[in-house]
Amino acid sequence: MPSMVRIPAILSVLVLLLARCAVAEVNCSSTSIALPSVILGPHVHFVTEDSADAVCMHEGFSKAGPARTSTLHVMGLSMSAVRVSTLQILRPRSTKIIVAVECLKAGQKACSADKDGSVGYHNKGRNNFGTMNDGDDNIGNSDVGHANWGNNNIGVGNRCFNKTGNRKVISECSLLEFRKYAWVLDSPLPPSKKA
């Protein structure tokens, strides 16, 4: 008889745990911005890792959550980076840039990693960061395959937007493609002259 009492108790605990996991997945609904870039003057630039809040606020969010970063060297493009707060242009290839950042509304909590190590929602696979990725180690949104960075890539190792194929070269993305998705940074106005 004691074993019969334990079974309903164990089932109740399992149901509560499963319900809690389902709620955690539903509550994770933030937005990820992949490969953010800006136009400053005539050039397009990546943004430095310390510019995450600025990227999210530009997109209408309250603040940044976690981000994934890399270096200019790893991206493999002839682009510099901009520190948005000061408009400082950084050229060293070791400069850390944002690959993707989770943006949060006021009061919203950042997503935590699921059982497969993925951060974001509707990801299938392991160690993804972003939303609706299908595969492993993708950073961005709606990537299918493995180790893609950006949005809507299909294949392996694409670091761009809307690319298909398996890349052995670091990046086949062009500056024009980044310019298409970049936002324009206005340089500060010169100080006004007193009459």
pLDDT in tens, 72-126: 999 888 999 999 999 999 999 999 999 999 999 999 999 999 999 999 999 999 9
> Among 87, 102, 86, 99, which residue's Cα sits nearest to residue 37?
99
pLDDT in tens, 129-180: 999 999 999 999 999 999 999 999 999 999 999 999 998 766 678 899 999 9
Distance (Å, rounded) from C-alpha 103 to C-alpha 47? Answer: 15
Q: What residue segments make up the domains of the chain, in order of their start?
A: 33-184
What Å distances lie between residue 189 and 38, 41, 151, CA to CA?
18, 13, 34
Distance (Å, rounded) from C-alpha 125 to C-alpha 109? Answer: 23
The answer on pLDDT for 20 being more than 50 is: no
All residues at 6 or more sequence positions from 103 whose CB lies less than 8 Å from its CB, including other chains? 30, 31, 32, 33, 55, 56, 59, 61, 63, 64, 65
Distance (Å, rounded) from C-alpha 28 to C-alpha 21? Answer: 11
Give the Cα-Cα-Cα angle 173, 35, 119 (nearest 5 degrees): 125
> Among 1, 68, 9, which residue's Cα sits nearest to residue 33?
68
